[in-house]
Chains A and B, each alone.
Chain A
Amino acid sequence: DGGITQSPKYLFRKEGQNVTLSCEQNLNHDAMYWYRQDPGQGLRLIYYSQIVNDFQKGDIAEGYSVSREKKESFPLTVTSAQKNPTAFYLCASKGQGKKRLLEPQHFGDGTRLSIL
Chain B
Amino acid sequence: AQSVTQLDSHVSVSEGTPVLLRCNYSSSYSPSLFWYVQHPNKGLQLLLKYTSAATLVKGINGFEAEFKKSETSFHLTKPSAHMSDAAEYFCVVSRSSGNTPLVFGKGTRLSVIA
Contacts and interface: CB of A to CB of B under 8 A. Distances in A.
Contact of B106 (A42, A100, A101, A110): A42
Interface of A: 4, 6, 31, 33, 35, 40-45, 48, 50, 58, 88, 90, 92, 94, 96, 100-102, 104-110, 112
7 residue pairs, one from A and one from B, having the closest CB atoms: A107-B43, A42-B106, A43-B104, A107-B44, A42-B104, A104-B46, A109-B43
Nearest to A50: B99
Dominant secondary structure of chain A at its interface with chain B? strand
Q: In terms of DSSP, what is the predominant structure of the interface of chain B? A: loop
A100 B13 CA distance: 36
A48 B96 CA distance: 18
Given A41-B106, A44-B104, 8 more contacts: A6-B43, A42-B104, A43-B90, A48-B101, A90-B44, A107-B43, A109-B42, A110-B43
A49 to B, nearest CB: 11
A107 B46 CA distance: 9
Nearest to A6: B43
A111 B99 CA distance: 25
A102 B32 contact: yes
Contacts of B101: 33, 45, 48, 58
Contacts of A48: 101
Nearest to A41: B106
